[in-house]
Structure 1
Amino acid sequence: MTDPVLKIDGISKSFGSLKASNDICLDLRAGEIHALIGPNGAGKSTLIRQIAGEVAPDSGRIMLAGEDVTALSVAHRAKHGLARTFQVSALAMEDTVLQNALLGVIGAHGRAYWPFGGVLRHEGLRERAEEALERVGLMDEAATRTSELSHGQRRQLEVAVALTLNPLAFVMDEPMAGLGTQGSLALTEFLDGLRNEAPILMVEHDMDAVFALADRVSVLVYGEIIATGTVAEIRSDKAVQRAYLGEDA
């Protein structure tokens, strides 16, 4: 078996007497979607923030492509290939779809600020943004203001922005949040193909999407991973049923 693309090794984090993460170990392998599920208050958001670099763990390591990135900032992890999408959209809503993609290109290029006019005239950078939009099916919307996109299209645009980083791995925080049935089905199909671009660690409450997409599932309860396995293994796990899924899972 090849080494995992992303490895969380013994991560622990406490806030006063609250143990939000307790010796958490999990990994993300090439070509897979690994879903992280659990009840509200289980510590999923805290774990994702540690993986992304927003919160420093008290102990443990985070490895990306064999490199220890535990001490790196959010920006430096992104430059190393860790692409994150958010439960609440972080897009610039008044900018066009192309301008949002260009923001990703600017960040990937290591520039804190670069006027859009200069980027638009830079053939290589503009092509990089347009290629990402083409890959997620949004090139026809390049001139559309982002606020005019559907919720599902905004999710796709977030992925396009992430793709400009040439990511090694995606970390997605509830990508199905706010989507209706049709939107969830469309995004599920889209993410199913995206795993071949880079593997996905996905926090998600939509169990239909989890069961349709995940190669493996980890269950987080009170800051601890209580089970990791295939969808079938997790659905039949009595401890998981008691803690989260229910007896009729």
Structure 2
Amino acid sequence: MTDPLLHIEGLSKSFGALKATDDVTLSLMPGEIHALIGPNGAGKSTLIKQVAGALAPDAGTVWLNGRDVTGLPSAARARAGLGRTFQISSLAMEYTVLQNAVLGALGARGSVWRFLGNVMRDKALRGTAERALARVGLMEQALVRTSELSHGQRRLLEVAVALTLEPDVFLMDEPMAGLGADGSRRMTGFLDDLRSRAPILLVEHDMDAVFALADRISVLVYGKIIATGTADEIRANPEVRSAYLGEEIVI
């Protein structure tokens, strides 16, 4: 049997009396898109921060490529093979598209930089950055200032920056946010193709995208996974439907 590339076992996190993450266990298999959904306040952001290394759990383990990375910070997890995109953009808007991608490639080395000009003259870094930009279709915009990109193009640039890490696993936090119907359809097609490069743990509110993409869906409610299954199984699950009462989400 194939081992999961990402496995989360018994992850828990409390803030006082509030259990934000309650004994969460889930896995991500090669070639898979595993979606994590849940109503507002379910604890998705807290869980993702623990997986990414931005927040230490109270209990539980995060395994990446068979390695226990629970004690590693975000940068070390990135170098170990975890590529992350953010719900809120983390791009340097004053830099060009290529400069952002090159800095991503530099981070994959675990290096620091003092002068951007010196970094941009590194042929290996530029090559890695240009290949990532070509993969997401942004090479024509390589010299454009990032602030001048459309919202959808910025989301693709975030994916390109993650690609420069040559990750084994993608962690994507609401990549459809703010894209609109056409942008969401384009991003859905792109992610469907990207899974062949590395599997994706996808946190998303766009249910059309989730049901179109996900091989498995886990539903998080009050910090606890209440169901995991295929799109059809999740649609038919009465506990899931009850959890979404009052939410403007059609499942």
Give me the TM-score of the superposition, normalised by structure 2: 0.97
In structure 1, what is the Cα distance between the partners aligned to 2:132 and 2:116? 17
Structure 2 letter corresponding to 1:50: Q
Which residue of structure 2 aligns with residue 196 of structure 1? 196
| Alignment partner, residue 147 of structure 1 | 147
Equivalences for residues 17-96 of structure 1 within 5 A: 17-96=17-96
The alignment partner of 1:61 has SS state of strand
Structure 1 runs of 4+ with >2 Å offset: 245-249
2: distance between equivalents of 1:67 and 1:211?
A: 30
User: In the aligned structure 2, how far is the partner of 1:124 from the partner of 1:102?
Assistant: 9
Which residue of structure 2 aligns with residue 221 of structure 1? 221
Provide the aligned length of Structure 1 versus Structure 2: 249
Q: Which runs of 5+ in 2 are unaligned?
A: none
Query: How many angstroms does 1:90 deviate by?
Result: 0.4
- Please give the alpha-carbon distance, in whole angstroms, between the structure 2 residues aligned to 1:248 and 1:153: 27
CA drift of 1:119 comes to 2.3
Amino acid at match of 1:52: A
Paired residues of 2:35 and 2:214 also in contact (CA < 8 A):
yes
Note the alpha carbon deviations across 1:145-194, whole angstroms, 9 max, x for none.
Answer: 11111111111101110111110101111111111110101111111101
Query: Aligned equivalents of 1:91 and 1:50: distance in 2?
Result: 21
Query: Where in structure 2 are the equivalents of 1:151-190 lying within 5 Å?
Result: 151-190=151-190
- Report the alpha carbon displacement of residue 115 of structure 1 after superposing the two structures with TM: 2.3
Deviation at 1:232, TM superposition (A): 0.6
Are 2:108 and 1:108 equivalent residues in the alignment? yes
* Equivalence for 1:121: 121
- Deviation, structure 1 residue 248: 6.6
Cα distance per residue 1:113-136 (max 9 Å; x no partner): 152222222211111111111111
2:146 corresponds to which letter in structure 1? T
Q: CA deviation at 1:244?
A: 1.8
Aligned to 1:137: 137
Indicate if the aligned counterparts of 2:99 and 2:120 stay in contact, CA closer than 8 A. Answer: no
Distance 1:142 1:60 in 2: 42
AA matched with 2:22: N
Partners of 1:109 and 1:212 lie apart in 2 by: 35
Secondary structure (helix, strand or coil) at the match of 1:165 reads coil
Whole-angstrom distance in 2 between the partners of 1:114 and 1:154 = 25
SS in 1 for 2:101: helix
Matches of 2:119 and 2:4 in 1, distance apart? 35
